[in-house]
A and B are shown apart, each in its own frame.
Chain A
Amino acid sequence: MKTPIYLDYQATTPLDPRVLESMLPYFTQHFGNAASRNHAFGWEAEKAVENAREQVAALLGASSKEIVFTSGSTESINLALKGVAQMYGETKKHIITSQAEHKAVLDTCKHLEKEGFEVTYLAPDKQARVSVEQVRAAMRADTILVALIWANNEVGTLNPVREIGALCHERGVLFFTDATQAAGKVPVDVEADQVDLLCLSGHKIYGPKGVGVLYVRRRNPRVRVQAQMDGGGHERGMRSGTLNVPGIVGLGKACELARLELTSEAQRSAALRDRLEKRITDALDHVHLNGSREHRLPNNLNLSFAFVEGESLIMGIKDCAVSSGSACTSASLEPSHVLRAMNVGEDLAHSSIRFGVGRFTTSEEIDFAADQVIGAVKRLRELSPLYEMAQEGIDLSQVNWQGGH
């Protein structure tokens, strides 16, 4: 077993060797521009891209004509939200999202607010879930779009996508979902789930970085999106720019593997995830699960270790690569906005660690990680004045804290 052990599969995943193999010919041998219509180099590239489009569509239950290739989920989110807002913004002004979204959605919504759109940020429940009733109550006559994450990137909670999709279609409101964490992990079917726009990223599903997808529904309703980049009019005019052929080929292969192995992989991940949780909670008390036990990704485990600060814990388990808060915000000292929105308590938000297991995780690695975590938490609790106070029976919420920074 090699250390450090990678347990941060929600941040990114290694490329599956089968994906790499599929990509290699398209760097040197079949290097054509997929938009070159006049020669075999272009035709070869175009054929590969269209094959990948089919593979992506199959994972989502979509038609290949509804797949737009982008550089990744952040771009897809910008294109979906800004593109829809601009296309439908003359008559409608209102967008519904939640406080537990990824920053790419929240910051895009803030941008749209500056342009005059009105955004409702629903407060999720303690498990990070938004209910269909909340969405219904927030809908207005001028609501254009509901944008909600399918599986939360920090705590892995699944939103009731199908119910929300049905509501949106009943009310004539477009529905975008960020499926970056969900695609390939839980079944996605844009028809049954009534999703109008959806994004995913290659690198979260054992594909390459720098390539992703925006699914844009073509029928019932036909969704129109204003392009955000001017240029050659690639991707049915929605996303100009020479196609990243090797990346797209890899993404297609990654989607195919994810589709074929989804059930077995979900079972395997969940077993490893549960093994990790059991070992940790058998040895330690005051460990809290963040998120929903019922509605969650099979490969995510977000735990708060009371009386221990997350960053110091990560230092203490240096042979394990895990995340405190989301990787995108860990440069700041603020606790995660998701845990804040869930209202788990600021002290527990500071004590949270996200473990992500994946295709290449072994049970040996899980046991090693569990031992490291248990050892570090015990050591840090010996160092913790909060643990000492709790042992003395002091209610920490009743203490008058002074001089906080």
Chain B
Amino acid sequence: MAYSEKVLDHYNSPRNVGALDKNSANVGTGVVGAPECGDVMKLQIQVEGDRIVDAKFKTFGCGSAIASSSLATEWIKGKTLDEAMTIRNTQIVEELSLPPVKIHCSVLAEDAIKSAVADFKAKRESLKEGK
């Protein structure tokens, strides 16, 4: 299978690889996918106010899955939570020129963003209630 140059670039030099402290109140963590499906993405955001100031990822999956999550972290950094929630998998497909068999990678990346945002919001809610 031939990969697009952008997929190769993200695969060879993935952006924002790493981990944030998942126990921190400012950090939201999303883990989507399953090992038996061949894809697991972990995407984390660090939020100040309503803005994502940092994002990190780790991905088990094919080159397109790694590229999709790497791109997702690039795009959400600096965005507000609401802005991040508007990112659609089709934009990732377009940017990385993913072939039809790899569309699920982009879907997973969109899910990972939503899951991280949801985790952060849930944390914030529970902290408020705690006060």
- Minimum C-beta distance from A57 to chain B (A): 41
Q: Is the CB of B58 within 8 A of A384?
A: yes
Q: How far is the CA of A315 from the CA of B10 in the complex (A)?
A: 12
- Contact-residue size bin, chain A (C-beta under 8 Å from the other chain): 20 to 34
Q: How far is the CA of A331 from the CA of B1 in the complex (A)?
A: 8
| One of B14, B40, B62, B66 near A386 (C-beta < 8 A) | B40
Residue picked from A311, A312, A331, A402, most chain B C-beta under 10 Å: A312
Within 8 A of A (CB), among B81-125: 101, 104, 107-108, 111, 115
Q: How far is the CA of A386 from the CA of B6 in the complex (A)?
A: 25
Q: How far is the CA of A75 from the CA of B38 in the complex (A)?
A: 33
Q: Is the CB of A315 within 8 A of B33?
A: no
Q: Is the CB of A402 within 8 A of B59?
A: no
| One of B3, B31, B38, B107 near A309 (C-beta < 8 A) | B38
Closest Cβ neighbor of B33 among chain A residues = A404
Q: Is the CB of A388 within 8 A of B19?
A: yes
B42 close to A (CB within 8 Å): yes
Q: Is the CB of B40 within 8 A of A385?
A: yes
| One of B17, B61, B63 near A382 (C-beta < 8 A) | B17
Contacts of A277 in B (CB 8 A): none
- Minimum C-beta distance from A230 to chain B (A): 39
Closest Cβ neighbor of A332 among chain B residues = B101
A-B contact count (CB 8 A): 87
Interface residues of chain B: helix, strand, loop or mixed (majority): mixed
Digit string of B53-87 for contact with A (CB within 8 Å is 1, else 0)? 00000111111011000000000000000000000
- Minimum C-beta distance from B20 to chain A (A): 12
Contacts of B42 in A (CB 8 A): 385, 388
Digit string of A283-317 for contact with B (CB within 8 Å is 1, else 0)? 00000000000000000000000011101100110
Q: Is the CB of B62 within 8 A of A404?
A: no
- Minimum C-beta distance from B25 to chain A (A): 20
Closest Cβ neighbor of A316 among chain B residues = B11
Q: How many residues of B contact A (CB 8 A)?
A: 32
Contacts of B45 in A (CB 8 A): none
Contacts of A382 in B (CB 8 A): 17
A405 close to B (CB within 8 Å): yes
Q: Is the CB of B11 within 8 A of A312?
A: yes
| One of B37, B59, B107 near A383 (C-beta < 8 A) | B59
- Minimum C-beta distance from A318 to chain B (A): 9
Digit string of A259-290 for contact with B (CB within 8 Å is 1, else 0)? 00000000000000000000000000000000
Within 8 A of B (CB), among A186-222: none
A347 close to B (CB within 8 Å): yes
- Minimum C-beta distance from B7 to chain A (A): 9
B35 close to A (CB within 8 Å): yes
Closest Cβ neighbor of B35 among chain A residues = A347
Q: How far is the CA of A401 from the CA of B17 in the complex (A)?
A: 21
Within 8 A of B (CB), among A21-66: none
B5 close to A (CB within 8 Å): no
Closest Cβ neighbor of B105 among chain A residues = A405
Residue picked from A311, A315, A335, most chain B C-beta under 10 Å: A315
Contacts of B61 in A (CB 8 A): 309, 312
Q: Is the CB of A309 within 8 A of B60?
A: yes
Contacts of B36 in A (CB 8 A): 345-347, 350, 401, 404
Q: How far is the CA of A386 from the CA of B36 in the complex (A)?
A: 12
Q: Which A residues form the contact surface with B (CB < 8 A)?
A: 307-309, 311-312, 315-316, 331, 333, 335, 345-347, 350, 382-388, 396, 401-405
**Contacts A/B (CB < 8 Å), 23 sampled:** A307-B60, A311-B63, A312-B11, A312-B62, A312-B63, A312-B66, A315-B3, A315-B63, A347-B36, A350-B38, A382-B17, A383-B14, A385-B59, A387-B60, A388-B42, A401-B34, A401-B36, A402-B34, A403-B111, A403-B115, A404-B39, A405-B37, A405-B39
